[in-house]
Amino acid sequence: MRIARRALAALLLPAPAFAQASARVVVIGGGFGGATAARSLARAGIATTLVEANPTYTACPFSNAVIAGLRPMEAQRFGYDALRAEGVSVVHQRATGVDATAKRVILADGTVLPFDRALVSPGIELRFDALPGYDEAASRAMPHAWQAGAQTELLAAQLAAMPDGGTVIMAVPPNPYRCPPGPYERASLIAHFLKSRKPRSKLLVLDAKDVFSKQRLFEAAWAALYPGLLEYVPLAMGGRVTEVDAKARRVTTDFGSHEGAVVNVIPPQRAGAIAQAAGLADRSGWCPVDPSSFESRLVPGVHVIGDAIIAGAMPKSAFAAHAQARVAVAAMVAMLRGAPVPAARLLNTCYSLVAPGYGISVAGVYRPANGVLADIPGAGGTSPLDAPASVREAEAHYAEDWFATITADAFA
Amino acid sequence: MRALALALLLMAAPAFSQEAPLGASTCLGCHSPVRADAAIPSLRGRDAAEVAAAMREFREGTRPATLMDRLAKGFTEAETQAIAAWITR
Ligand SMILES: Cc1cc2nc3c(=O)[nH]c(=O)nc-3n(C[C@H](O)[C@H](O)[C@H](O)COP(=O)(O)OP(=O)(O)OC[C@H]3O[C@@H](n4cnc5c(N)ncnc54)[C@H](O)[C@@H]3O)c2cc1C
């Protein structure tokens, strides 16, 4: 009865009061997850503010092709004008805190943005405290190139400048980290670069684990395309890097030490700094969320998506961040109108290039089960091991098509 | 008060009458409804029965595929039909 009278009163309110009452969402992070979410929220009629530190986004997918000299850096860059044109208020600032009780986001310059619900897609923070010798200064001598931009260009330049006959070293971290097949795609394309431009050189891949994504497909391709050039050392054979010396470009493993002409260190990671500051991350460094709504399990009213979350079987990929954005927005819209959260079903596909015109993929279909996202048995899996060259070529082509579509959906 | 006004406002918005069925929104990560030059075809404006039939063939492994056979197996026939109706609209 009281509710009904209130509803009636609401209906009778003059228009400007309605405008003031329009739902407000603040999105932090304008990468694959955040840009997609901000746009979907605006399209759903929600007053949306996107807080993104950088005026230009630099995409990681296909940045391994840039490193290998196969693609211009320009093809990785995207702006926010299209989001602005759709009514998203884009603020190029760093968010420094989320006050979930007062429902507001705090920016570096002190600006306060009130919200009804918030969504955080901050990506990763590289841990410069995890591998002895590898801090931010060391990354200028031994690039990680795991956040695309200046680091990507630095690694590309080092490879272009190195003498033929030198050794390139890659250090690959234990799970979990951004883009599970990414290091192996990078190893493949660096091997392709060396084979065609500096054929007396070698690539040494030192891995802190024994099993990895699309392993049989990668290893078959390496044996066929890069024999004697690419040497892969798993954990069991002493692949774990325990210390680095940036000045000497030397890495130490359980079994010995190696010096490289170029050293690419991919360090351990955790959820982006704002996730730690806002209390969204647990002791693992990553953010636990409800797998249907992507609402934080630690901070009610705040949703988290993308690389930052603990997603169960779903990998940390641009595809996943984009898919989670759409599902999280549907949940947020339902919650804002007091409706039940819709059931969730998500897809992922990660393409990798092992050489130009040679693509492979891994796919999965996921649903919430036991509080996390679980694989649907029987669905998903990798490209066949015995596919003909025409299928590899088609997949390389589809990979580029996917990138064009997902970046258009998020940014264009 | 605010919450109620909000709820009423949101319910009035037409966008919500066309909610994506289970799983459908993530098909758009590859099948762009707007890119004209795409290699992976747009499904907008296609015949829904045809799309559902293609998905059934992918699921059963009778239609050539590099990828769709692996994705189609994650959906039942009823789920596929709901997606096909939404994605072709
Ligand atoms: C070499 C490489 C290759 C890859 N290849 C693929 C691929 O082929 N396919 C694929 O699907 N994925 C790939 N990935 C993974 C993909 O890049 C990530 O999974 C994806 O970017 C995650 O999206 P996100 O929204 O979680 O984070 P991000 O895309 O990293 O976006 C986070 C954004 O938030 C901003 N931000 C963070 N904190 C703040 C703050 N406090 N205030 C304001 N702004 C903030 C950042 O500036 C950034 O723009 C690859 C990754 C790498 C490194």
A298 three-class SS: coil
Q: Is the CB of A327 less than 8 angstroms away from the CB of B10?
A: no
C-alpha A299/C-alpha A307 separation (Å) is: 18
When scoring B26, B27, B83 by the number of chain A Cβ atoms within 10 A, the one with the most, hence best to mutate, is B26
Which residue in the block uniquely carries the two structure tokens 């030397």? A250
C-alpha A355/C-alpha A184 separation (Å) is: 11
> What separation in Å is there between the alpha carbon of A32 and the centre of ligand 1?
6
Beta bridge partners of A244: A251
Strand duo A269-271 + A124-126: pairing: antiparallel
Residue pair A265/A171 in contact (Cβ under 8 Å)? The answer is: yes
A288 three-class SS: strand
DSSP per position, chain B: -HHHHHHHHHHH-GGGGGPPPTTGGGGGGTS-SS-TT-SSPP-TTS-HHHHHHHHHHHHHT-S--SSHHHHHTTS-HHHHHHHHHHHT-
pLDDT tens digit at each of 412 positions of chain A: 344 444 444 444 433 333 335 899 999 999 999 999 999 999 999 999 999 999 999 999 999 999 999 999 999 999 999 999 999 999 999 999 999 999 999 999 999 999 999 999 999 999 999 999 999 999 999 999 999 999 999 999 999 999 999 999 999 999 999 999 999 999 999 999 999 999 999 999 999 999 999 999 999 999 999 999 999 999 999 999 999 999 999 999 999 999 999 999 999 999 999 999 999 999 999 999 999 999 999 999 999 999 999 999 999 999 999 999 999 999 999 999 999 999 999 999 999 999 999 999 999 999 999 999 999 999 999 999 999 999 999 999 999 999 999 999 999 9
Look at residues A259, A261, A189, A265 and name the one whose alpha carbon lies nearest to residue A230: A189
Residue A183, ligand 1, Cβ within 6 A: no
> What separation in Å is there between the alpha carbon of A7 and the centre of ligand 1?
42
Helix (H) or strand (E) holding A277: helix A273-277
User: In A55-213, which ranges are E strands?
Assistant: 57-58, 77-78, 89-91, 95-99, 104-107, 112-114, 117-120, 124-126, 167-172, 202-207
Residue pair A262/A155 in contact (Cβ under 8 Å)? The answer is: yes
Residue pair A265/A243 in contact (Cβ under 8 Å)? The answer is: no
What is each CA distance from A150 to A105, A136, A259, in whole angstroms?
A: 29, 13, 24
Residue pair A267/A255 in contact (Cβ under 8 Å)? The answer is: no
Residue A376 to chain B, least CA–CA distance (Å): 6
Burial status of residue A408 (CB atoms within 10 A of its CB: 0-12, 13-18, 19 or more): middle
- Taken in order A26, A27, A29, A30, the sign of the CA dihedral is negative
Instruction: Report ipTM (2 d.p.).
Output: 0.92
Look at residues A35, A71, A281 and name the one whose alpha carbon lies nearest to residue A176: A281
Q: Nearest by CB to B8, which of A10, A116, A381? A: A10
Residues of A in contact with B70 (CB under 8 A): 363, 379-381
pLDDT of residue A22: 83
CATH numbers and ranges of domains, chain A: 6-126+269-411 (3.50.50.60), 138-265 (3.50.50.60)
Residue A178, ligand 1, Cβ within 6 A: yes
C-alpha A30/C-alpha A244 separation (Å) is: 33
Residue pair A311/A372 in contact (Cβ under 8 Å)? The answer is: yes
CATH number, domain containing residue B69? 1.10.760.10
Measured in whole angstroms, the distance separating CA A208 from the mean position of its chain's CA atoms is 20
Q: What are phi and psi of B10, to 5 degrees?
A: -70, -35
- Taken in order A373, A375, A379, A385, the sign of the CA dihedral is positive
Take residue A296 and report the two structure tokens written for it: 């934080």
pLDDT tens digit at each of 89 positions of chain B: 445 444 444 444 434 336 899 999 999 999 999 898 899 999 999 999 999 999 999 999 999 999 999 999 999 999 999 999 999 99
Q: Which residue of A has its CA nearest to B5?
A: A10
Which amino acid is it at A365?
V
Residues of A in contact with B60 (CB under 8 A): none
Structural domain including B52 reads: 2-87
Nearby residues of A55 by Cβ (< 8 Å), 6 or more positions away: A79, A80, A92
Structural domains counted in chain B: 1
Nearby residues of A15 by Cβ (< 8 Å), 6 or more positions away: none
When scoring A103, A317, A337 by the number of chain B Cβ atoms within 10 A, the one with the most, hence best to mutate, is A337
- Tell whether B32 lies on the interface with A, counting CB pairs under 8 A: yes
Residue pair A25/A119 in contact (Cβ under 8 Å)? The answer is: yes
pLDDT of residue A48: 98
pLDDT of residue B18: 61
Number of H helices, E strands in chain A: 11, 25
C-alpha A240/C-alpha A210 separation (Å) is: 10
Nearby residues of A407 by Cβ (< 8 Å), 6 or more positions away: A59, A78
pLDDT of residue A369: 96
Whole-prediction pTM value? 0.94
pLDDT of residue A385: 97
